Amino acid sequence: MRRRVGSGGFATVWLAYDEQLDSPVAVKVLADNWTEDLQVRRRFLEEGRYLRRVDSPHVVRVYDAGELDDGRPYLVMSYADQGTLADRLEVEGLTARQALEVVRQVGLGLQALHDLDILHRDVKPANVLFRTTRGGHAGPAPSAPPAPPVGPDPHLSADAWADRCGFHQPAGETRGPADATAASGDVQALLGDLGLGKALDVSSRLTMVAGTPSYVAPEQARAEAPDARADQYSLGALAYLLLTGRPAHAHTSLQAAAHPDDPAPLSTEERPFPPEVDAVVRRALAVDRDERWPDVTAFVAALSAALDPLVGRQGSTGSISRPWLPLDPELTQPGARPSVHQPSGELPEPSPPARTARPTRRRRVAGALVGAAAGVLALGAGALAGYAWVDGRAPERLTVSDATGRLAVEVPAGWDAAEADEPWAGPAGDASYDALSVGTDASWTDPDSDGEGVFLGLMAGDALPTLMPGHAECESPQEPVTSTVDGRPTRTVVHTGCPGGVTVERVVRVAVNRLLWVQVRSDTTAEAYRVLDSVRTYGL
């Protein structure tokens, strides 16, 4: 065992080296607080059984399974040394060719699952993993250089068309040989985290609602019996995101996902697409599943044909990109984070912890992948409006944690002007709990302040509060939303028209008899959700 690379509501993932396989592997261990929960334990082991049945280079493999001395089950799985698609999108977007290749490879993985009557049910960027396929890891030989691209307009070269569509990488960057510190080889996509996966015959008898709001099929959000077309819908939402740089839907609840509006047209003036591309993706996103493509393979084939004028008649290279992370990076993926979720009622306004001379721990992130090199556990879900695309870089951000190391959050540079991490008494004032406050100034929590910041505070409790904090300084709150994500009950309420923009309150059950209260104030909803989704807890 080398180190921990990720942890979530149900499990922790460790990087290990398998001497028999002569390869790094990911070891996924059920969290100790769920060991006695038979339903969670069964779901954990089901993932291993489903994955063992699949033989595809685009689905995470399970090599072994067992049980620790303390009774916790574990799975030995493929290690994704290049992190997740969500990690990659935090730094830069993909070219049209790369986007198509990701969709193609994820589609191959989904079709392999469907051929064995297995649903994934949670296709999203955080569950698309990347690994190198040769060099540091065994993999196929490199493909021959592709033929020169053919542009869609006889008067425009492919490069000129790509420039017009904004598909080239930022100026000054190249995608030549990987630098000396990067992993050698090509990058391949594979599907991970079948924690929500179900056999089709079982799914037909279940009504459990699962999935991520911005990607889940409407029938799945309505707790109807899903089939393979639900995964196709999620792949269509992923394709829309990768091609346009924006999500097809920005749902924050399964209730909203159950009755989606039509997505905006794929093509824009800044990023034009042929109407055929829009039609292909829109069919995959049809609310009525009978109107979708017959299967994932048909959808991917149609998308490839529609995008052919843009990407050239070169066929698939089998690689998405050169590796962008070191082969054995020192970064580790932080622990569990609450997802974009739900609101409700009237806790008292949090009193931020007193300012302290004890230094909070900070890590600067300047265009780097935070928590990259994840194994096979993808953490949380949320709105993707904050991603940077090929025409720009992500702004500098800071990861700040409290002195105990139990709470951490990633914030924009400048939000660390006022920090405090003294324990707080909680709403009931009955005990002392870990807390962290970070903001643009010391008065950011004042009702009339236009400052920005985030407060995190642990408190006692098993049940989510029926009432969430009110904000008289704001125009009106949105409807509270309650759901369960990654096994964590969550409630969120968004207040708009506030002096500084928006205020978002969230309460998450992070452990037995422990709740986490989070408040974010930001000038935009997108930034507020980005901060919310970066929250991590450790050792709870």
DSSP string, 248-277: S---SSHHHHTSPPPPPPS--SSS---HHH
CB 502 within 8 A of CB 452: no
Measured CA to CA, the distance from residue 220 to residue 211 in angstroms comes to 8
DSSP state of 95: -
Residue 5, φ and ψ in degrees, nearest 5? -115, -5
pLDDT tens figures, 389-423: 333 334 578 888 888 888 889 999 889 888 888 88
Over the stretch 279-301, which tens digit does the pLDDT of each residue have?
Answer: 999 999 999 999 999 999 999 99
- pLDDT > 90: what percent of the chain? 25
pLDDT tens by residue, 296-332: 999 999 999 999 988 864 445 556 655 544 444 433 3
Q: Which pLDDT does position 3 carry in this prediction?
A: 83
**Torsion over CA: 365, 374, 128, 508 (sign):** negative
pLDDT (tens digit, 9 = 90+) per residue, 1-45? 888 877 666 788 889 988 887 888 999 998 877 777 777 788 788
3-state SS, 195-214, equals CCCEEHHHHCCCCCCCCCCC
| Strand residues in 50-111 grouped as ranges (E) | 62-67, 73-77
- Give whichever of 233-237, 250-254, 446-450 has the largest mean pLDDT: 233-237
Query: E strands within 292-395?
Result: 361-365
DSSP percent split of the chain into helix, strand, coil, nearest 5? 25, 25, 55
More confident residue, 452 or 345: 452
499-516 pLDDT per residue, tens: 889 999 999 988 878 899
> pLDDT tens, 248-270?
998 877 778 888 999 999 998 88
- CB-count burial class (<10 Å; 0-12, 13-18, 19+) for 288: exposed
Q: Which residues of 343-365 are buried (b: 16+ CB within 10 A; e: fewer)?
A: bbbebeebbbbeeeeeebeeeeb
How many Å is the maximal CA-CA distance in the chain? 74
CATH of domain 396-537: 3.40.1000.10
Q: What percent of the chain has pLDDT over 70?
A: 69
Q: For residues 379 and 335, what is the distance between their CA atoms, to the nearest angstrom?
A: 8
Phi, psi of 270 (to 5 degrees): -75, -30
Strand order across the beta sheet in which 73-77 lies? 3-7, 11-18, 23-30, 73-77, 62-67
Q: Which fold has domain 83-134+185-201+210-313?
A: Transferase(Phosphotransferase); domain 1 (1.10.510)
The confidence score (pLDDT) of residue 12 equals 85
Lowest-confidence pick of 132-136, 206-210, 438-442: 206-210
> CB within 8 A of 97, min separation 6: which ones?
167, 311, 312
Among the residue ranges 162-166, 195-199, 243-247, the one predicted with the least confidence is: 162-166
Q: Which residues make Cβ contacts (< 8 Å) with residue 154, sequence separation at least 6?
A: none
Rounded Cα distance between 509 and 460, Å, is 10
Written as six digits, the tokens of 268 are: 């824009």
Q: Averaged over 129-149, what is the pLDDT? A: 47
Whether residue 150 has pLDDT greater than 50: no
Q: What is the pLDDT of residues 518-529, one digit of tens each?
A: 999 999 888 888
**Best mean pLDDT range from 77-81, 198-202, 240-244, 404-408:** 240-244
* Other CB atoms within 10 A of residue 268 CB: 13
More reliable by pLDDT, 381 or 471 = 471
Give pLDDT, residue 363: 44
- The yes-or-no verdict on residue 437 having pLDDT over 80 is yes
Q: Say yes or no to pLDDT of 212 above 60.
A: yes
Contacts 24+ apart (CB under 8 A), 462-466: 462/509, 462/512, 462/513, 462/515, 463/509, 464/344, 464/489, 464/490, 464/491, 464/507, 464/509, 464/515, 465/344, 465/345, 465/346, 465/347, 465/491, 465/507, 466/344, 466/345
CB-CB neighbours of 305 under 10 Å: 12
**pLDDT band at residue 487 under the 50/70/90 scheme:** low
pLDDT for 519 equals 94
Q: Report domain extents, the chain.
A: 3-78, 83-134+185-201+210-313, 396-537
Q: What is the mean pLDDT of residues 57-81?
A: 90
Which pLDDT score is estimated for 179? 31
| Mean pLDDT for all residues in the chain | 73
Residue 499 DSSP symbol: T
Does residue 428 register a pLDDT over 70? no
Convert 116-150 to b/e letters by CB count within 10 Å (16 or more is b).
Answer: ebbbbbbbbbbbbbbbbbbbbbebeeeeeeeeebb
Neighbouring C-beta atoms of residue 224, cutoff 10 Å: 15
Answer yes or no: is pLDDT of 103 > 60.
Answer: yes
Q: In sequence order, which residues have a C-beta less than 8 Å from that of residue 225 and are 6 or more positions away?
A: 203, 204, 205, 206, 207, 219
Rounded to an integer, the average pLDDT of 197-201 is 46
Look up the CATH architecture of domain 3-78: 2-Layer Sandwich (3.30)
The CA-based angle 410-120-191, given to 5 degrees, is 60
Give the pLDDT of residue 56: 92
Among the ranges given (154-158, 217-221, 401-405, 487-491), the one the predictor scored with the smallest mean pLDDT: 154-158
